A and B are shown apart, each in its own frame.
Chain A
């Protein structure tokens, strides 16, 4: 696989079981309250035309990652080969600036270790030819990883979703399949 890669999430399949979230938390040994992947439910509409949708999101490995640019300790890097945004915990000084900057709340601070943790696309698993744990754990097979060119070309794939930040800020490399009412106007 070459070029930018990212998550593809079919939110129309997501039933908010949070298995991806639990698998991610377990695999990464995340602290209490540290949610590296999160499933959020958004509601909207007016009675009787109400709706809700679930968005499972972790780091979007953005094409223009604000964390890489502004981390004062240089703890973030973006791999040129596949665009994965990596966080080096050894370089992290725990200033939490990235937690303010990231519009998606991807970096999660742990007060006990004094460091931030975030999704690294289960790089070790990927190098072994396996899928990231959230992808493997999803019982609905709603999460995939693929090249951005391929997933962005799928019919209906979008990152312009209601209640999420404007994609122009950091140009996320994730794509979602959502119902029409979840699209940004």
Chain B
């Protein structure tokens, strides 16, 4: 696997975008602006995207020439991806600073701008991969997977933290996390439908069949693992944390699941996303006969 730097970059970008969304949501909740745990998440957005951008430099044969990657903004999707990621990083810096310095004035709107910049960056990121010359990637499963990862992190991470005494907000996060898991399910099914499709183009057919064969033979264990960690585990986690009503009819957040267990689950889900991304690169750049 030679694309580890891009795996870190894309996953960090999506995770940062998800956290920006959840922090912005949290800011709108009464009392949410003063929440200590959410403050940590708000501050973490910029370092995350910074780590992703730094990791992406290691993908380059000549990292010191990286600024030149913005030379072709007019027509290159890769140039646009890098530009929008830098824009997102700049917005995240300001947003993180406002959490760090506890500046609440207009922070919600900075969060909205940061989230929109993040979504734009993620959108340009999947557009970079969807080309007819890479038949395995040139399909809706890839955008669904990228956006699903954003939702997964937007929902699961804050839901696991001890920040949500507001049952309604917790439910919103859990629904986002559930939607993320569901998106990964749809993406996986769509990917199999794409790879196993009969296409009239021999070249595309050979590549699609090669990718399918690779997934179902050499990488089958990793495939099963990523399905479990990004679909089954998040859905089970959401069901476990879903708030119940007590005898008086008051909705209560889950207090029984210990934090170390939640941390293990979060780590496992992140690992699942990373494995899934590694598989994406493996099937996409697999060239059987060229």
Contact = CB atoms under 8 A, between A and B. Distances in A.
State which size class the interface on B falls in: 20 to 34
Given A72-B79, A93-B60, A94-B62, A103 B133 contact: yes
A39 interface: no
State the majority secondary structure of interface residues on A: loop
A97 B78 contact: yes
Interface in B36-76: 59-62, 65-66, 68-72, 75-76
B61 A105 contact: no
A52 interface: no
A168 B18 CA distance: 38
A70 B76 contact: yes
Contact of B133 (A66, A113, A162, A163): A66
Nearest to A162: B202
Interface stretch (B101-109, B226-234, B282-290): B282-290
A74 interface: yes
A79 interface: no
A78 B196 CA distance: 37
Residue from B61, B66, B71, B131 having most chain A Cβ neighbours under 10 A: B61
B132 interface: yes
Interface residues of A, number: 36
A95 B69 contact: yes
Given A74-B71, A94-B62, A40 B289 contact: yes
B133 A74 contact: no
A104 B289 CA distance: 11
A95 B133 contact: no
Contacts, number: 98
A70 B60 CA distance: 16
Contacts of A102: 133
B132 A114 contact: no
Interface string B122-139: 000000100111100000
A95 to B, nearest CB: 6
A97 B131 CA distance: 11
Interface in A36-95: 40, 42, 66, 69-74, 91-95
B169 interface: no
B68 A71 contact: no
A93 B133 CA distance: 21
Contact of A166 (B72, B201, B284): B201
B259 interface: no
Nearest to A44: B202
Given A70-B76, A71-B76, A109 B61 contact: yes
A42 B290 CA distance: 11
A97 B62 CA distance: 13
B72 A72 contact: yes
Given A97-B78, A114-B61, 18 more contacts: A70-B72, A70-B78, A72-B70, A72-B76, A91-B71, A92-B62, A93-B62, A94-B61, A100-B131, A100-B134, A100-B284, A102-B133, A110-B61, A115-B62, A163-B203, A163-B206, A165-B201, A165-B204
Chain A to chain B: the 10 pairs with minimum beta-carbon distance, closest first: A94-B61, A114-B61, A72-B79, A105-B290, A72-B78, A74-B71, A103-B133, A72-B69, A93-B65, A73-B68
8 contacts: A72-B70, A95-B60, A96-B59, A97-B78, A103-B132, A110-B61, A116-B61, A166-B132
